[in-house]
Chains A and B, each alone.
Chain A
Amino acid sequence: MSNLTYGQVTKDIIRPLFKPSLLHGLALVTAIACLSVGAYCWKLQLEQGLGVAGYEPPVMWGVYITTFVFWVGIGHAGTLISAILFLFRARWRTGVYRASEAMTIFAVLTAGLFPILHAGRCWYAYWLFPYPNQRQLWPNFKSPLVWDVFAISTYLTISAIFFYIGLIPDMAATRDKVKGFGKRVYGALCLGWRGTDNQWRHYMAAYGFFAALCTPLVISVHSVVSWDFAMSSTPGWHSTIFPPYFVAGAIFSGCAMVLTLLIPMRSLFKWEDYLTIWHFERLAQLCLLTGAILTYAYATEYFIAWYSDNPYEWGTFIYRPTGDYAWAFWLMVSCNCIFPLALWFKKVRTSLKWLFIISLIINVGMWFERFNIIATSLAHMFDPGAWVYYLPNRIEMGILVGSFGWFFMWFLLFVKVMPSVAIAEIKEGVRPPLKADEVTT
């Protein structure tokens, strides 16, 4: 990067903004189309009741919670990269962290829809928040679902703030580049940032603290989500390994999603200088690591189930690979444990094509991991007299598609209006202009 100069950086990164491009436009339209499909399905569901979805009691949770956990998981990589790697001073983060943070925000935004979508009477969902009312009723703070409400809303708030203050200097830079109305807008958005010594000083301090706050938050959020399952008595859920297992899975899927997003963006915006193979290889290594942890977690689950000698637990774990849901189980195993092994080879790690394919595979696999956990356990609970075989139906699938539409719509809009690579931080990585250099040359 040493051939870059500050001016070059600013120019390159602000270049793609507001330039309509066919590919981008098509993508956006497709996203909105998907969204409308989901919206229509939800309308039907609101009018006629959850019955339009394919639930088969006692499988009371299905695709919606699966997708909720999936998106929350996606939401992890962003903050991990921006916060934890910031604390670890991992330099490769600077190129990718803005985009992955945006991904986080929108993923959590998407995830947040699903508890509402899934509630039988979502018009009363606000009862889960503590607010004074004449009934003198409050939520049950002992319920993991209320923990969820707190965890998710906190996570969304904090990472949104973190994201925003990260954007401030870059929006200031954009302000100084664009003309007319845009100038006013960015001027307002960057809160009148001037980049004076005093501002930079407090800014850097605050940024550090946010990174420090986000780090435990990242870990906690998915732990809390995992407790939705681990805190229950259901065989296949009632396990102490869930928090680390879920967090690892989340980072795994998150990194995969970052790859899925950045690889096309790089070629679309000509950012080869900022998103180099070197960045992607680091991400791939992270995937490899977390994937290995995940595989280990699967194995441990089986060992514990067998070792506990608990007929219900073991029954469920036998049921997963052999029962009705064997297809889902083996799909999960191959996508999450087998295919990612290709990342051991540098050739694969450094080939964008292969990275992209594998990242897609991982995304699919991780969705099925959650489906596998939820559906199989509930379909095969304690009392055989209540065993069923649940499969999602079109409404649920429509809403799943809709959620992707929702996510990509926001993301695509974002990359067109905001600098998706951190200008200031890239500059930190560039050798500053020195008189000394010029004298010597």
Chain B
Amino acid sequence: MSKMNRRDFFRVVGVSGTAGLVACDPKSPAEQLYPYVIDPEEITPGLPTYYATVVEGCSVLAKVREGRVVHIESNPNRENAGVSPAAQASVQETYDPDRAQGPQVGGAAASWDEALGTIAAAVAANPAGTRWLGRYRTGSLQALISGFVSGLGGQNAHWEPHGHSVLANAAKIAWGSSAPPAFDMSGAEVIVSFGADFLHTWSDSGNHCAGWAQARSKDNGHIAHFTAIEPRVSNTSAKADTWLSTRPGTEAGVARALAKLVADEKGSTGAAKAYLAGVDVAAAASAAGIPEEKLKALASAIASKPSVVFPGGVTTYGSDATDLALAVLVLNQVAGNVGTSVLPDGNPLGPIHSYTEAMDAVGGAEVLFIDGLDPVFSSPSGAAQEVIAAAKLVVVFGNSMPEGMPEGTILLPPGSELETWGDHQLGHSFMALQQPAMKPLYNTRSVGDALLSLSKHSQIAPLLANGTEAVPTDDDGGSSTTDFAAADFQSFIKGRWNNMHVASGDVAPFSSAWVQALRVGGINLATTPVSAELKALPAPGAATLVDGTTLLLFSHQNLLDGRHANKAWLQEIPETLSGYTWGTWAEISPATADRLGVSNKHTLTIKSASGSIEAGVSVSKGMRDDAVAVVVGNGHKTGNRYSKDYGANPAVLVNGLRDAKSGEVAWLGTSVEIAKGAADNIMSKLNGHTDQDGRPLARASYVKDVEEAGPDAETGSLAPGLGIPLDPRIPEDSYDMYPEPEHPTYRFGMSIDLDSCTGCTSCQVACASENNIAIAGPEQHRKSRYMGWIRMDAFWEGEGDNPDVRFLPVMCQQCSHAPCEGVCPVLATYHNLDGLNAMIYNRCVGTRYCANNCPYSARRFNYHTFRWPESYNLMLNPDVSTREMGVMEKCTFCIQRIRYAKANHRANGIDVVPNDVLESLPACVSACPTGAMTFGNLKDENATVSKIASGPRAYQMLDALNTKPGVRYLTKVVHTKPVDPHHGGGHGDDHSSNDNH
């Protein structure tokens, strides 16, 4: 007993039910303290340091504690703040426990010299046989790759499975511009999309989100109307005010018809006129199954208002993908959007090739370099296999081996973006600089460094023409150079930036510009607009329509085309619409479900000419009866412990169909047979019931009321649901048995705008990263044990062509009269002076009464002691304790950040933290790409949050319970008059054409 630890002793007597009185106090081996040998001057133990960099095409700040990146913050120097889930999960790319820790030759570990030697020998044998199959690259790396491959006389191809090759091709045909146009919807009043998932997975979604928030904000004087024309309601079209469900494959026709109608109203000339001549609107409408008058109404709206039309995406790109993109460009042209909301631009982005082009290019390779792609996984029925097998030597730049690589493949791990140098062109006008935020964990080299050292190899160096660019002597020693003699990729980049600097005619010394770029994360590029004259357009090809069930594919909200499947967070966070995690599911319409006799508990067998898969069922109101939609992203056969063997890969279903004009894979146009699967669905929906049964949780306001509302309007659908609805006959003070607790300094609160919330899950990932939230895994999810502190509800309020899906992020509402507090027997949770609903983990006994009593079901319980595998534990936030089994946990409004801010300001003699600091303090708020969330001190009426929270759209969830929550929601704005705004709304009189303006 005397050797027994006091806690254990108490635990034992605790179990036996009698409080112990003895406390014996053993010595157990103490922790060790390891100081630095030589302390780095920029690191202060206990304080974070931030580095501006770019990860996953998102300009961010990397938060570093004691030399470890622990969190990805939004970059305040960019106007569109916010971080994509993928960018935040790059931390997990860095600490991936299974990533390659050094070069591998044929699966066996090797040194860089050996690996590069082998490659050099093979390349030298036949330089012209060098082929490069890589993902889309921009900036210095792109220059280096092309320099290297062309220098050897080889060929390089860049393919993105769900990329923008089709649009790029269309832009070239239409305008001869070298890059696809950018879309800016901030000024638009009418937004139309032909299947582009532009808020989530399509192109520059970060900017689109910001634009969406603007287009939907009343400050713009109007609230844009969004029409989605596609066969399936995607995460983006879930925000649509009108969903015109098209027969799969007929979208191009509809686009042309719309263009025709608009042209008829506004008139058209030249190529457009020629292109639209002989478009039969009625035929197109009937083929698509859309009432013609709806098209007409939409067309007149487009013609009469500033608008933007998005082309298609994976879901709608069939054998006539380019025709759809072309038609959309023409539509934008005739609507007069080109130059205002659709911006063709001259800044050369990196090259992008279609699948066919890429395969042709790399055919007959001697040495095939594969960069950042998983070609066999992503190509239809793994067709890329043959091309790769043909190569004599395959070299892969990747942190783990892709699928279906031949024997003897060489793996060169580039490490993560947080460890390496690089630069990326974001959109048209920003060149982001990627700087290492931490020392590489393993023996890895970035693609650039690897290429440079390869080019310096004795057998390669002679083959390469040197000095592709002349380098001006810059003022920091002229160390930088862009030719292959560059010491490393960093100086290579520096050289190019030096050139850009000189080219830009900036007189400031380059060093200061460089430092500035490092601080803010990059530089803005001068944009050179190109002429938006339509060239003569080819006649549209025929669409491939499918009788029976059409297969629709869509990229996973977070895993995209599958490249992020190895990041546990992105697998763990429920996909917003389906609520599924860790697997592949197929969406079918309720009617189809009834026909097949399946529900979400079952699986579906999907069979095509080329293969068959099993996927869990997700019954969705946003599906057509003649189609089944399968999510792409899972079903990896290789990869790490989080990506391997989850779900199925639907690419095996897609046959050889290609887009006639671009040669891109026609993801649409496969005919499949579906049947009830043998197994049960092992995934369980983590967003519960998708109909709020008329409960006023996610509320809506009618657009007219919002637009006409004064500051304190309470008309129509605008009901400030703040506090319990008062009854004039009852004295106001008699609603509460007890007075509201007083908050001397702060009453922290948050506002969440349900209209601009796109359900992108950024907040959830940020929360997981900041608060050390356990990765429970599929086993636990099967019992609905999702540990995330923010639950994203998705309620389908609408019917038919008005989906009206309401995304409702629910976290702890920090009530002033919190039901959870009173029932805790040990005061582990209580109301503190700052209005926070405090939760003290290590006081918790685990009676779970608080969770039962929380009307918002916002509390999470640790059913096990969840831990992190080795090297994942490095990403834990040292300011937040990890929870053990039997402890309740919940959102704390990031108390550690609040505490840190308070301490900092007190140290400088400021007793109350100013609003601008508080505004985006919590992780979720600072990560939100649409700025839907605001944080602050509700006691201060000048705080932004107070202003918003008292606005006409503000309401408290379940206000009738009088829990006095600190979180205020802003109603979603709907273009269909809600029947009873105070009870859900959105139902009722079906969408009529005059709602379009």
* A and B directly contacting (CB within 8 A): yes
Seen from chain A, the residues whose Cβ lies within 8 Å of a Cβ on chain B are 46, 48-51, 54-58, 60-61, 112, 115-116, 118-129, 131, 137-140, 142-146, 149, 228, 231-234, 311-312, 315, 378, 381-388
Q: How far is the CA of A123 from the CA of B10 in the complex (A)?
A: 7
In the complex the two chains form, is B852's CB within 8 Å of A61's CB? yes
Of A54, A57, A315, most buried by chain B (CB within 10 Å of CB) is A57
Q: A122-B15, A123-B11, A143-B824 are in contact. List 19 more A-B contacts (CB 8 A).
A: A49-B863, A55-B783, A57-B785, A61-B852, A120-B861, A127-B825, A137-B826, A139-B827, A140-B827, A145-B849, A146-B825, A231-B822, A382-B958, A383-B856, A384-B688, A384-B697, A385-B697, A385-B857, A387-B688
In the bound complex, residues from chain B placing their C-beta under 8 Å from that of A387 are 688-689
> B18–A383 contact, CB under 8 A?
no
8 Å CB contact of A57 from B18, B860, B864: B860
Interface residue? B882 (CB, 8 A):
no
The reply to whether A119 and B845 form a contact with Cβ atoms under 8 Å apart is yes
Q: In the complex, what residues of B have CB within 8 A of residue A55's CB?
A: 783, 785, 861, 863
The answer to whether A137 touches B694, judged by C-beta atoms less than 8 angstroms apart, is no
Residues of A within 8 A of B785 (CB): 51, 55-57
Given the interface pairs A121-B844, A384-B692, the reply to whether A50 lies near B697 with Cβ below 8 Å is no
B808 at the interface (CB under 8 A from A): yes
A58 is contacted by which of B697, B823, B851 (Cβ under 8 Å)?
B851
Q: Are B846 and A50 in contact (CB under 8 A)?
A: yes
Residue of B nearest to A374 (CB): B852
Chain B 955-974 interface 0/1 with A at a Cβ cutoff of 8 Å (1 = within): 00010010100000000000
Could you say which of B810, B825, B887 has the most chain A C-beta atoms within 10 Å of its C-beta? B825
Q: Are A57 and B851 in contact (CB under 8 A)?
A: yes
The 5 A-B pairs with the shortest beta carbon distances in the complex, nearest first, are A120-B846, A120-B886, A123-B11, A385-B793, A51-B863
Cβ contact within 8 Å between A46 and B15: yes
CB distance from A79 to the nearest CB of B (A): 22
Q: A145-B825, A145-B849 are in contact. Are A125 and B14 (CB under 8 A)?
A: yes
Closest approach, in angstroms, between the C-beta of A410 and any C-beta of chain B? 16
Complex interface: chain A residues within 8 A of B692 (CB): 384-385
- Counting CB contacts under 8 A, is B869 at the interface? no
B783 with A311: CB separation less than 8 A? no
Q: Provide the bound-state CA to CA distance between A384 and B14, in Å.
A: 38
The residue in B784, B819, B851, B963 that gathers the most chain A C-beta atoms within 10 A of its C-beta is: B784
Please pick, from A56, A121, A382, the residue contacting B845 in the complex, using a CB distance under 8 A: A121
Contacts of B859 in A (CB 8 A): 58
Interface residue ranges of B924-963 to A (CB < 8 Å): 958, 961, 963
Let me know if A116 and B15 touch, CB within 8 A: yes
The reply to whether A140 and B824 form a contact with Cβ atoms under 8 Å apart is yes
State whether A119 and B847 are in contact (beta carbons under 8 Å apart), knowing that A49-B885, A384-B689 are contacts in the complex: yes
Of B689, B694, B794, chain A has the most CB atoms within 10 Å of the CB of B689
- Chain B residues, Cβ within 8 Å of A121: 844-846, 884-887
Q: State whether A143 touches B793 (Cβ < 8 A).
A: no
Closest A residue by C-beta to B698: A385
For this complex, 14 residue pairs linking A to B, each with C-beta atoms less than 8 Å apart, are: A49-B863, A120-B845, A120-B887, A121-B846, A125-B14, A126-B17, A143-B822, A145-B825, A311-B694, A315-B693, A315-B695, A385-B795, A385-B808, A386-B793
- Selected contact of B852 from candidates A140, A143, A232, A312, CB within 8 Å: A232
Interface size bucket, B side? 35 or more
Of A146, A315, A385, the contact of B791 (CB 8 Å cutoff): A385
A48 to B885, CA, bound (A): 8
> Would you call B76 an interface residue if the criterion is a C-beta within 8 Å of the partner chain's C-beta atoms?
no
What 1/0 mask marks residues of chain B from 91 to 129 whose CB sits below 8 Å from any chain A CB?
000000000000000000000000000000000000000
Contact in complex: A120, B694 (CB < 8 Å): no
Whether B825 lies near A383 (C-beta < 8 A) is no
CB distance from B955 to the nearest CB of A (A): 15
Q: Given known contacts A126-B13, A126-B20, is B810 in contact with A385 (CB within 8 Å)?
A: yes
Q: Contact flags (1/0) for B679-710 with A, using CB distance below 8 Å?
A: 00000000111111111010000000000000
Q: Is the CB of B853 within 8 A of A124?
A: no
Cβ contacts under 8 Å, B910 to chain A? none
Instruction: Please name the residue on chain B nearest to A311 by beta carbon.
Output: B695
Contact (Cβ within 8 A) A123 B793: no
- Let me know if B693 and A123 touch, CB within 8 A: no
Partner of A49, one of B11, B691, B784, B865: B865
* Closest chain B CB from A209 CB (angstroms): 29
What is B's interface to A at a CB cutoff of 8 Å?
10-15, 17-20, 687-695, 697, 780, 783-786, 791, 793-795, 808, 810, 819, 822-827, 843-849, 851-857, 859-865, 884-888, 958, 961, 963, 983
Q: Known contacts A56-B783, A60-B851; decide if A119 and B846 are in contact (CB<8 Å).
A: yes
Closest Cβ–Cβ distance, residue B956 to chain A (whole Å): 13
Among A51, A125, A128, A385, residue most surrounded by chain B Cβ atoms (within 10 Å): A385
CA distance A318 to B697 in the complex (A): 19
Report the bound CA distance from A254 to B888 in whole Å.
35
CB nearest neighbor in A for B794 = A385
Bound-state CA distance A148–B726 (Å) is: 35
CA–CA, A137 to B783, complex, Å?
35
Q: What's the minimum C-beta distance from B426 to chain A, rounded to whole angstroms?
A: 35
Q: Are A383 and B793 within 8 A (Cβ)?
A: yes
B887 lies within 8 A of A382 (CB): no
> Is the pair B823, A126 in contact by a Cβ cutoff of 8 Å?
no
Residues of B within 8 A of A385 (CB): 687-689, 692, 697, 791, 793-795, 808, 810, 857
CA distance A57 to B851 in the complex (A): 9
Nearest residue (CB) in A for B855 is: A382
Instruction: State the CA gap A127–B848 with chains docked (Å).
Output: 15
| A382 x B856 contact (CB < 8 A) | yes
Pick from B691, B849, B860: contact of A143, CB below 8 A: B849
Contacts A57-B851, A143-B825, A234-B852 given; indicate if A120 touches B885 (C-beta within 8 A). yes
**Given the interface contacts A139-B826, A311-B695, A386-B857, does A131 sit within 8 Å of B19 by beta carbon?**
yes
Residues of B within 8 A of A116 (CB): 15, 17
Q: Inside 8 A of A58's CB, which chain B residues have their CB? A: 851-852, 854, 857, 859
> A234 and B827 in contact (CB under 8 A), knowing A49-B886, A384-B795?
no
Cβ contacts under 8 Å, B826 to chain A: 127-128, 137, 139-140
* Interface pair A123/B15, CB less than 8 Å apart: yes
Which residues does chain A contribute within 8 Å of B860, judged by CB atoms?
A: 57
Q: When A312-B695, A385-B689 are in contact, do A124 and B11 touch as well, CB less than 8 Å?
A: yes
Q: Quick check: B961 and A233 within 8 Å, CB to CB?
A: yes
Contact A54 B885 (CB under 8 A): no
Complex CA–CA separation, A142 to B821 (angstroms): 10
In angstroms, Cα B779 to Cα A54, docked, is: 12
B14 touches A126 (CB 8 A): yes
Q: Which of B795, B845, B857, B958 is close to A128, meaning CB atoms less than 8 Å apart?
A: B845
Alpha-carbon distance A48/B694, docked complex (angstroms): 41
| Distance between Cα atoms of A187 and B691 in the complex (Å) | 71
Query: In the bound complex, how far is the Cα of B687 from the Cα of A228, in angstroms?
Result: 28
CA gap between A58 and B15 in the complex, in Å = 26
- Cα distance A46–B885 in the bound complex, in angstroms: 10
Residues in B neighbouring A126, C-beta threshold 8 A: 10, 13-14, 17-20
B883 → A minimal CB distance (Å): 10
Whether A383 and B855, one on each chain, are in contact in the complex, defined by CB atoms closer than 8 angstroms, is yes
Cα–Cα, bound, A123→B6 (Å): 12
Report the separation of the CA atoms of residues A205 and B861 in the bound assembly, to the nearest whole angstrom.
52
Please determine whether B819 and A232 come into contact, CB atoms closer than 8 angstroms. yes
Query: In the complex, what residue of chain A is closest to B857 when comparing beta carbons?
Result: A386
Q: Which of B848, B861, B884, B888 has the most CB of A within 10 A?
A: B848
Is the Cβ of B864 less than 8 Å from the Cβ of A49?
A: yes
Residues of A within 8 A of B845 (CB): 119-122, 124-125, 127-128
Q: How far is the CA of A55 from the CA of B885 in the complex (A)?
A: 14
- Inside 8 A of A120's CB, which chain B residues have their CB? 844-848, 861-862, 885-888
Instruction: Please give me the residue from chain A that is nearest to B852 by CB atom.
Output: A60
Residues on A with beta carbons closer than 8 Å to the beta carbon of B17: 112, 116, 125-126
Of B687, B845, B863, chain A has the most CB atoms within 10 Å of the CB of B845
Q: Which residue of B lies closest to A237 (CB)?
A: B852
Closest to A50 in B: B863
